[in-house]
Amino acid sequence: MKKVTFGTPESVVPSRYCREFRTEETPVSYPVSRIRFWKNDRGCVLEFPVGTEQFFGFGLQLKGFNQTDKELILRVNADPRNTAGDSHAPVPFWVTTGGYGIYLDTARNIEVQTKVRRASDGQTVMTVQIPAARGVDVYIMEGKTISEIVAQYNRMAGGGCRVPEWGLGTIYRVNWHDPQEKVLHTASYFRENEMPCRILGLEPGWHSHSYPCSYRWNRELFPEPEEMIRKLKEMGYHLNLWEHAYVSPEADIYEEMKPYSGDYLVLDGLAADLSPGRGREIFAKYHREALVEKGIDGFKLDECDNTGLVEYGWKMFPYCSRFPAGMDGEQYHNLFGVFYMQTILEALEGRETLSQVRSAGALCAPYPFVLYSDLYDHRDFIRGVVNSGFSGLLWAPELRHAASARDLIRRLQTAVFSVQCLINGFYCEEVPWKAFDCEGEVRELLQERERLIPRLYAAFCRYRETGIPPVRALVMDYTLDEQTWTIDDEYLFCDDLLVAPMTEEEEMRNVYLPEGRWRDYWTGEERESGWHEVRTDRIPVFERI
């Protein structure tokens, strides 16, 4: 790995807030001397020499996969609708089939053209504009495969996250209007019907006021929350609570947080400054004493992904905002999810978790939080699983409603073979499979998830030690295989499984098995490498042997 500094970098950058950030300087063959840097009225520009290599990464991209010959603006956006770079988790890190990857240590919305030709000499280059900045630190990593390069990037952040085995079990989020009795009824339903479920999640209704948040129990729906938690614990459940960081005037910490919030209200609540400092201490202390010490060990951190760009009827803080720690709104949008995760980990005081978050960013591999979305296209969800590994991120292709029993089962199959098996019934009056009379198939899939947990846990342990993610695009391990450069609907899972999900409309699909020996996960039948036509009601899964 090689660090190169251009100009004068900003002080507010991701590495400053990465507690385990570390680098090891080694020689690289990349032509560093050919990188061009200059400043203009909009900030600064970098120009990188490129050849025939293919580009991947740039964060959680739901709409695009191979980023070669693309023009992108990496911007936090809750509702990415196209391939222009918007993302729940934009990351200024890219990897290539040319044996190198590059990380830019910036909290700005960078503008990228992955391949463009100069008018002066016809040379092909990659350009990056960093608005407002007058310089940047550039980190160059090299490896034989993309997996080796990504592993270096993740180790630079501190390695992959440590997760508890129970966090890898099924999580079911109940309807957001469900009262205490209904929550306990749902908990009993899973146990009585031998349907594995380890975590129950409560949605906005648990708050006395949820937009903005009070972080206090709604006593009409939950008259005895501590008794409910005790009963759920007795049944073997962990409990996860939804929230966001816009503080309601009803919140006990509202007055304390006033001096430690941004200068614009959001949803008529305070936009908490959760960067290291007094505001974070107040927020974390309240969560620890009011919730964690009462038995809560997981949180769903919502609305930290610039929801104001979506037509939801409310606005987020603008880029011109100022926060007490000295950041502007653009920088805070890019670091908001990171700060939020760090704050909740401080509240948990070392207790293990695998929680959820709506936004992340650079150097996030050490955080045990899984990204999710309000979007619901199944193909996009599969692409998210495939892409997440490029950028040190975890992604959950959750199940909510379905158009048919086939749609529900296909979606659940994808969820079962992902880092977190998440079923979100926040607007469902009953568990979503009841309407389709397919409880037996759902039970079988949830039981399969339980059987996968030891294998997945071992992959997470390897992630922590080596930086190699538990879910990876085929091109990450088989970088020189040109067939893998466009495959955005297959992925490697738990190191030795290849998963090729199918959507509702598919009765058959083609599956590519890279070089090596494979066998069908379900039947044990051996398969040669190459393309195969697969027709099955199960999810196609193959095991490396």
Q: How confident is the model at residue 225 (pLDDT cuts 50, 70, 90)?
A: very high
H helices of 467-516, in order, are 474-477
State yes or no: pLDDT of 444 exceeds 90.
yes
pLDDT digits (tens, 9 = 90+) for 336-360: 999 999 999 999 999 999 999 999 9
Give the model's pLDDT for residue 312. 74
CA distance 213 to 216: 8
Listed residue (242, 196, 220) closest to 187, CA to CA = 196
pLDDT digits (tens, 9 = 90+) for 72-105: 999 999 989 899 999 999 999 999 999 999 999 9
Q: How confident is the model at residue 307 (pLDDT cuts 50, 70, 90)?
A: confident
* Average pLDDT over the chain, rounded to an integer: 97
Return the amino acid letter for 244.
H
Kindly state the tokens that stand for 396: 């959950």
Give the model's pLDDT for residue 245. 98
pLDDT digits (tens, 9 = 90+) for 255-285: 999 999 999 999 999 999 999 999 999 999 9
Residue 149 CA to chain centroid, in angstroms? 19
State yes or no: pLDDT of 461 exceeds 90.
yes
Q: How confident is the model at residue 313 (pLDDT cuts 50, 70, 90)?
A: confident
State yes or no: pLDDT of 308 exceeds 80.
no
Cis ω before 80 (30° cut-off from 0): no
CA distance 110 to 106: 8
pLDDT digits (tens, 9 = 90+) for 158-170: 999 999 999 999 9
Listed residue (367, 261, 360) closest to 305, CA to CA = 360
**How far, CA to CA in Å, does 434 sit from each of 384, 416, 502, 523?**
28, 19, 22, 29
Through-space distance between the first and last CA atoms of the chain, rounded to whole angstroms: 33
Query: What are the b/e assignments for 67-99, b being 16+ CB within 10 Å?
Result: beebebebbbbbbbeeebbbbbbbbbbbbbbeb
Averaged pLDDT for residues 190-219: 98
For residue 199, how many other CB atoms are within 10 A of its CB? 25
CA distance 481 to 97: 9
Query: Rounded to the nearest 10 degrees, what angle do helices 278-290 and 329-348 cross at?
Result: 40
Listed residue (330, 351, 337, 349) closest to 392, CA to CA = 337
Q: How confident is the model at residue 310 (pLDDT cuts 50, 70, 90)?
A: confident
CA distance 43 to 33: 21
State yes or no: pLDDT of 295 exceeds 80.
yes
* Residue whose token pair is 């926040």: 426
Q: How confident is the model at residue 311 (pLDDT cuts 50, 70, 90)?
A: confident
Kindly state the tokens that stand for 132: 């407002």
Give the model's pLDDT for residue 415. 98
Q: Residue 524: CB partners within 8 Å, gap ≥ 6?
A: none
pLDDT digits (tens, 9 = 90+) for 170-199: 999 999 999 999 999 999 999 999 999 999
Listed residue (417, 364, 389, 489) closest to 148, CA to CA = 389
Give the model's pLDDT for residue 17. 98
Kindly state the tokens that stand for 193: 């019907």
Percent of the chain with pLDDT over 90: 98
State yes or no: pLDDT of 314 exceeds 90.
no
313/216: higher pLDDT: 216
CA distance 85 to 524: 41
Listed residue (45, 41, 57, 158) closest to 100, CA to CA = 57
Q: How confident is the model at residue 495 (pLDDT cuts 50, 70, 90)?
A: confident
For residue 186, how many other CB atoms are within 10 A of its CB? 18
Give the model's pLDDT for residue 209. 98
Averaged pLDDT for residues 376-405: 97
